[in-house]
Amino acid sequence: MPYFDAASAAPLHPVAREALLAALDEGWADPARLHREGRRARLLLDAARAAAAEEVGCRPDELVFTPSGTRAVHAGVAGALAGRRRVGRHLIVGAVEHSSVLHSAAAHESAGGSVTEAPVDRTGRADPAAFAAALRGDTALAVLQSANHEVGTEQPVAEVAEACRAGGVPLLVDAAQSLGWAPAPAGWSLLTASAHKWGGPSGVGLLAVRKGVRFAPQGPVDERESGRAPGFENLPAIVAAAASLRAVRASAEAEGARLRELVDRVRARVPRLVPDVEVVGDPVRRLPHLVTFSCLYVDGETLLHALDRAGFSVSSGSSCTSSTLTPSHVLRAMGVLSEGNVRVSLPVGTTAEEVERFLAVLPETVASVRDGLSAPPASAAVPSPVSSPVSETSVAGSPASESPVGADLVAGADSVVDAELVVDALGKRCPLPVIELAKVIGDVPVGGAVTVLADDEAARLDIPAWCEMRGHDYAGERPAERGTAYTVRRRG
């Protein structure tokens, strides 16, 4: 069964397995002790640190091992902010950072600090000028990922680092997704990563802090890992993480080129095989193994389960797969379609045959999910305008004498008082509001309006994205008595 979710966790690399088993026999003792077993464990820990530091591009005494990549981010953000508290309490983060960064930012804000989110374009790439403009005299820290975990877009770390250097602000780079594929980008002041992203064991993170960066560890500390990651080191896992990082980086150039060709194949063929698909992320400046696309009129959770039954393990940023029923913050910041979202991230060793099998299965799987939702025909021509004025019909199939469905709910919403047709999608979840819109758009003349009432948060993203994909004009949104009113004008 092909596993295509390496961006979440890569399969354990063979080198990691060998190193882990060996270290279980040799590295079980306390590396802080002076007896023979302790000294042997200390040698293993020092060697692992030196190997990881070489791949990161820092001194061994600048790098510590943490219990996870998330803990590395939390410790790095909190320690850097505390170390520069005399400068100020302003934090800058990218809008599409990993949730661990956003959680750290939220905690900082709740404690009285201020946070600025730097925007991204439709490819998910941060704007260096926006980061530079956000810098202030009280800015203590800026955070930017090296590459996005959901869509693979590489970030302009060097340009942002230069702006931060000029402003005297340290930059923390979250390199979790990229470190197994490329050297750490230049210009970082702090760097974090996570071993399970490159094929190391889970439960090992890296935190590197350049000499000269003011840093004050937060919370209880001890003598372990320079006081930045308290608690007994998981030495076998650390040894396996360092060994596998060195191994994957040794073959990264060749394997990355091979997987990039396979991903290019997916990027090019999915839109031809599956109607109404939006491939997202930067097509060029991206990770070599990752591609993300969204399918119109598709429930994300249903699609993932269907692909799983077909033998393919993929992931999604769709709101339909989220317990909060809100779209991915990454897709929302990019302003792209979120429904039916699929992230394919190929692990090392993926074959062309496996990718071809996926491409063969995908069209029928998407079609079956659409059929189950009674979705309109994909990429169908926009129906001709009805012969009678739309004012004679309030809702498709309803006599003009009847009140429009949901009309009482939009009373007082200026943007919809002239709406010819109102669709009540209240209580319906992604992708049903867009499906209901698609079913009735042909019942208004060119230039006519359809207003969708929805309380699903994903509609705020998916209705404008649908308009762009299908060539209609999105006229905006306004609060309604219940939910939100989204108005669309038919273009042709």
State mean pLDDT over 220-235.
90
pLDDT digits 0-9 by tens, 253-268: 999 999 999 999 999 9
pLDDT beyond 60 at 382: no
pLDDT beyond 70 at 320: no
378 occurs within a structural domain: no
For residue 309, what is the domain's CATH number? 3.90.1150.10
pLDDT beyond 90 at 141: yes
**Are 417 and 359 in the same domain?**
no
User: Where is pLDDT greater, at 318 or 236?
Assistant: 236
Tally of domains in the chain: 3
Q: Which residue is catalytic, options 58, 164, 295, 320?
A: 320
Q: What percent of the chain lies above the pLDDT cut of 90? A: 81
> Pick from 250, 244, 252: which is nearest to 16 by CA?
244
**Unique residue bearing structure tokens 């520069």:** 84
pLDDT band at 47 (very low <50, low <70, confident <90, very high): very high
pLDDT confidence of residue 226: 87
- CB of 13 within 8 A of CB of 247? yes
Last residue of a domain, one of 372, 398, 425: 372
DSSP 66: E
**Are 237 and 322 in the same domain?**
no
**Are 185 and 309 in the same domain?**
no
Helical spans, DSSP H, in 84-168: 99-110, 128-134, 157-167
pLDDT confidence of residue 327: 78
**Are 232 and 257 in the same domain?**
no
For residue 413, what is the domain's CATH number? 3.30.110.40
pLDDT digits 0-9 by tens, 325-345: 577 899 999 999 988 999 999
User: Where is pLDDT greater, at 401 or 167?
Assistant: 167
- Owning domain of residue 473: 390-489
Q: Highest mean pLDDT: which of 23-37, 160-174, 371-385, 426-440?
A: 160-174
pLDDT confidence of residue 318: 65
φ/ψ of 140, rounded to 5, equals -95, -30
pLDDT digits 0-9 by tens, 83-99: 999 999 999 999 999 99
pLDDT band at 393 (very low <50, low <70, confident <90, very high): very low
pLDDT beyond 90 at 413: no
**Are 200 and 336 in the same domain?**
no
Name the residue type at position 204. Answer: V
**Are 448 and 464 in the same domain?**
yes
> Pick from 137, 181, 136, 135: which is nearest to 161 by CA?
135
337 occurs within a structural domain: yes
**Are 318 and 263 in the same domain?**
yes
**Are 276 and 233 in the same domain?**
no
- The string of DSSP letters for 258-290 reads HHHHHHHHHHHHHHHHSSSEEEES-SSSB-TTE
**Are 140 and 168 in the same domain?**
yes
pLDDT beyond 70 at 194: yes
**Are 24 and 48 in the same domain?**
yes
pLDDT confidence of residue 388: 32
Rounded Cα gap, residues 335 and 231, in angstroms? 42
User: Where is pLDDT greater, at 414 or 171?
Assistant: 171
pLDDT digits 0-9 by tens, 267-289: 999 999 999 999 999 999 999 99
**Are 29 and 131 in the same domain?**
yes
Rounded Cα gap, residues 288 and 463, in angstroms? 31
pLDDT beyond 90 at 21: yes
1 occurs within a structural domain: no
383 occurs within a structural domain: no
Integer-rounded Cα radius of gyration of the chain = 26
Rounded Cα gap, residues 2 and 129, in angstroms? 41
pLDDT band at 174 (very low <50, low <70, confident <90, very high): very high
pLDDT band at 169 (very low <50, low <70, confident <90, very high): very high
pLDDT confidence of residue 410: 47
Average confidence score pLDDT of the chain:
90
382 occurs within a structural domain: no
pLDDT beyond 90 at 132: yes
pLDDT beyond 90 at 414: no
How would you write 186-236 as a 3-class SS string?
Answer: CCCCEEEEEHHHCCCCCCCEEEEECCCCCCCCCCCCCCHHHHCCCCCCCHH
> Pick from 73, 155, 157: which is nearest to 81 by CA?
73
State mean pLDDT over 447-471.
92
> Pick from 192, 205, 197: which is nearest to 181 by CA?
197
pLDDT confidence of residue 319: 54
State mean pLDDT over 447-454.
94
- CB of 319 within 8 A of CB of 432? no
138 occurs within a structural domain: yes
7 occurs within a structural domain: no
For residue 84, what is the domain's CATH number? 3.40.640.10
The DSSP bridge partners found for residue 93 are: 117, 143
430 is known as an active-site residue: no
State the pairing for strand pair 139-145/484-489: unpaired
pLDDT beyond 90 at 415: no
pLDDT beyond 60 at 417: no
**Are 30 and 149 in the same domain?**
yes
User: Where is pLDDT greater, at 400 or 74?
Assistant: 74
384 occurs within a structural domain: no
